[in-house]
Amino acid sequence: MASATHDVSNDVPSEAQGNGSSHTPARSKVNLPVFIGSAVIIIAFTLWAWLAPDTAYTTLEAVFLWIGENLGWYYILTAGIVVVFVLIVAFSRVGRTKMGPDHSKPKYNLFTWTAMLFAAGIGVDLMFFSISGPATNLTTAPGNEAGSSGATEMAVLWTLFHYGIPGWAMYALMGMAFGLFAYRYHLPLSIRSALYPIIGKRAQGATGDGIEIAAVIGTIFGIATSLGIGVVFLNYGLEWLFGIEQGTGAQAGLIVLAVIVVIFSAVSGVDKGIRRLAELNVIFAVILLLYVLIAGETTYLLNALVKNIGDFAAFFPSMLFDTFAYNPPEGQWLEWWTLFFWAWWIAWAPFVGLFLARISRGRTLRQFVVGTLIIPFGFILLWISIFGNGAIWQFLQGNTEFITNAVASPEASYYLLLEQYPGATFTIGLSVITGLLFYITSADSGALVMANFTSKSLSASDDGAPWLRVFWALATGALTLAVLMLDGVYTLQMATVIIGLPFSVVMYLLMIGVWRALRMERYNRDSREATQPWMPAEGSRSERSGMTWRRRLARGMHFPSAKQATEFIDTVAAPAVEEVASELREQGGHVSCERGTVPGTTIPHVDLHVYFGEQTEFKYQVYPVAYSVPSFARSMRPTEETYYRVETFSATGSEGHDLMGYTQEQVIADVLDSYERHLTFLTMSEEGGQSASLHTDSNIPDDWDHDRTHG
């Protein structure tokens, strides 16, 4: 699965300048129900595997086989539905919705963001399956005769399918749920936030706790599976290089190494250093990729790559929903490959989805989905096609022993291919280093994410306590070793398929929650169109409020200072907003109106909130936003480098217009315009059969910690 090696604890962009608040990081509190519930289940399962291995294995195998026989169609259908859902979101009108306030801008430029997504597609398990997958598909030949030309053409394609679009669609779904509800609606950075449109306040109670316990259990099994694969893979490489015998002792040593790294990282705070080191893996991986391409049959590999691209595009729709109802493959191929991968992707979705959301704040859903589906898969396609077809080439040249060994010992298959080229000692050594760094970084990142999932975050940028990270590192290591001792990687695969079943229900809940939230966005957009004429936003507001054309012209030539912005807010804007608030109270509204000061300055701002019970609150915030004076205007104000726009903010971001130059009556008219739009939005929501219950900021219950950032 994706390595997500970038520092997820530092990927939260600060709020866009002028959004209404600064944020001082604070350590998250432990979410006791989620922590205790998930810890008890994991410890109990680990002890069961340790103390009664035969019973544990027999039970896991029986449940695994029952799921494969009776519910394989369900996993396949779920993967297909998720792909269709994220594509509909991306390419419909709601795809323009941002993962953050409307005024937010991405922290990372397109190149940096692309590089982060690119790195997210690399992991030690990709090295493991890039050879063993095509080799198994060649000999098992789903839908074809083993070793036939059809089986040869489809061998790499099935591995690309298992590592491709469906899995990244699941990550995209989880990422958009995190991004929308945390960064746009200011709810906690947790899965339960996406349930708020479905179950309301119950999301903060036992129901929400149950959902998050399921997420934690699924995630830890997904991480344990990746670590188990990494342990077995690295153990073989160390034996090849140094003669370290394969077995429980060496594997336990690798797990202890990962735990030590996590403890050192948590205690010393050198997360960035470890991740900077891990980022070298991208370079190492590219070197290995180019080496196989150049040292192997280059023309053949490039021809195969082009064909794989075309075949994947042509066959993907039918592969997506293929249950092999009419020609089931032999040897439970469907259970051990397709069902396992779909369950594994589901289990990893919270982990990688969180990472993807944190690096994508400020981007539209369309950008996010398209980038997530294409960019990481682009590297995966190159890797699997070149390495996988390198293995197929051995078969085409009559080296059937290579394919037999690759299937019998999947942990050795990658190294067996490198042995076919010159300089095997160097490339295998580099591969072990690369795999080891991916392995320990995944363990460290996994412990951090698990700590976050079992904490109550005060804001989207807070992380769980260091002791929590250490606990989850120990728990994951113990679980990995216990399950490996049952029957190696195969037991981990069985456990993953089983755990993925209940958590798949959460994926459906996420789709419902996200879709309801996006319907609210549509109602909000339609309400704006229904309550103002078609014309540029600034013109419509100023003309409806009675501003003359000379005043509008003067505003365009004026670049107010901090002092002028302060005077305007104190004498015009704030009194106008407060007057509206007073009248709303007189008419029976539930209103709050407060003045504040921009952090780090003496410039004031004012916030008006009107509450409608379970319905979405109305928010009108007048806030000064600092901008650099444009170069063309320096001649007008040569002594100033910064000027201020007094902008208005709704619950989902800046309204995009400046109040400076308005009279008090014009500000009142603007507040009323916004209020009427909000009432229209609530009416449209009810007429559409959906309660406008997306809670933002202060209408969330006080006992639920959440991000208090404005805008």
The full 3-state SS of 307-336, as one line of letters, equals HHHHHHHHHHHHHHCCCCCCCCCCCCHHHH
The pLDDT value given to residue 433 = 93
The pLDDT value given to residue 702 = 36
Cβ neighbours for 127, distance < 8 A, ≥ 6 positions apart:
233, 414, 431, 434, 435
- pLDDT average, residue stretch 8-34: 52
Rg of the chain over CA atoms, in angstroms?
28
First to last CA, the chain: 35
The pLDDT value given to residue 186 = 75
The pLDDT value given to residue 102 = 83
8 A C-beta contact, residue 463 and residue 28 = yes
Amino acid at 292: V
Least trusted range by pLDDT, from 117-121, 356-360, 644-648: 117-121
Distance in angstroms (rounded) separating the CA atoms of residues 168 and 188:
24
Helices (H), 329-465: 333-334, 340-359, 365-396, 400-408, 410-418, 424-453
| 539 has pLDDT over 70 | no
pLDDT confidence bin for 42, thresholds 50/70/90 = very high
Q: Output phi, psi for 587, to 5 deg.
A: -90, 10
| 537 has pLDDT over 50 | no
- pLDDT average, residue stretch 467-492: 92
Question: H or E stretch including 228?
Answer: helix 206-242
The pLDDT value given to residue 696 = 46
Least trusted range by pLDDT, from 193-202, 339-348, 431-440, 532-541: 532-541
pLDDT confidence bin for 272, thresholds 50/70/90 = low
- For the chain, the domains span 8-137+169-240+268-302+342-523, 535-699
The pLDDT value given to residue 438 = 87
The pLDDT value given to residue 22 = 37
Give 561's DSSP letter. -
Tell me the pLDDT tens digit for each residue of 353-396: 998 998 999 999 999 999 999 999 999 999 999 999 999 999 99
| 127 has pLDDT over 90 | yes
The pLDDT value given to residue 98 = 92
The pLDDT value given to residue 634 = 55
Give 573's DSSP letter. I
| 24 has pLDDT over 50 | no
pLDDT confidence bin for 442, thresholds 50/70/90 = confident
Tell me the pLDDT tens digit for each residue of 213-238: 999 999 999 999 999 999 999 999 99
Tell me the pLDDT tens digit for each residue of 576-597: 999 999 999 999 999 999 999 9
The pLDDT value given to residue 67 = 95
The pLDDT value given to residue 2 = 53
The pLDDT value given to residue 468 = 94
Instruction: Round the average pLDDT of the chain to a whole number and report it.
Output: 85
Q: Output phi, psi for 144, to 5 deg.
A: -140, 170
The pLDDT value given to residue 21 = 37
Give 14's DSSP letter. P
Distance in angstroms (rounded) separating the CA atoms of residues 629 and 622:
21
The pLDDT value given to residue 330 = 81
Tell me the pLDDT tens digit for each residue of 398-428: 999 999 999 999 999 999 999 999 999 999 9
The pLDDT value given to residue 691 = 53
The pLDDT value given to residue 576 = 95
Distance in angstroms (rounded) separating the CA atoms of residues 676 and 663:
20
8 A C-beta contact, residue 261 and residue 463 = no
Helix axes 365-396, 410-418, angle to 10 degrees: 70
| 109 has pLDDT over 80 | yes
* Paired sense of beta strands 29-30 and 615-628, if any: unpaired
- At residue 700, the 3 state secondary structure works out as coil
Four-residue CA torsion sign, 327, 328, 333, 334: positive
Tell me the pLDDT tens digit for each residue of 670-701: 999 889 888 888 887 776 665 545 554 433 33
pLDDT confidence bin for 114, thresholds 50/70/90 = confident
* Paired sense of beta strands 615-628 and 604-612, if any: antiparallel
Least trusted range by pLDDT, from 48-62, 121-135, 176-190, 273-287: 273-287
How far is the CA of 115 from the CAs of 121, 264, 371, in angstroms? 10, 27, 11
The pLDDT value given to residue 27 = 56
- At residue 532, the 3 state secondary structure works out as coil
The pLDDT value given to residue 15 = 35
Cβ count near 201 (within 10 Å): 15
| 122 has pLDDT over 80 | no
The pLDDT value given to residue 282 = 81
Q: Output phi, psi for 187, to 5 deg.
A: -95, 165
How far is the CA of 291 from the CAs of 427, 587, 710, in angstroms? 8, 75, 51
Q: What is the pTM of this model?
A: 0.84
- pLDDT average, residue stretch 108-135: 88
8 A C-beta contact, residue 114 and residue 430 = no
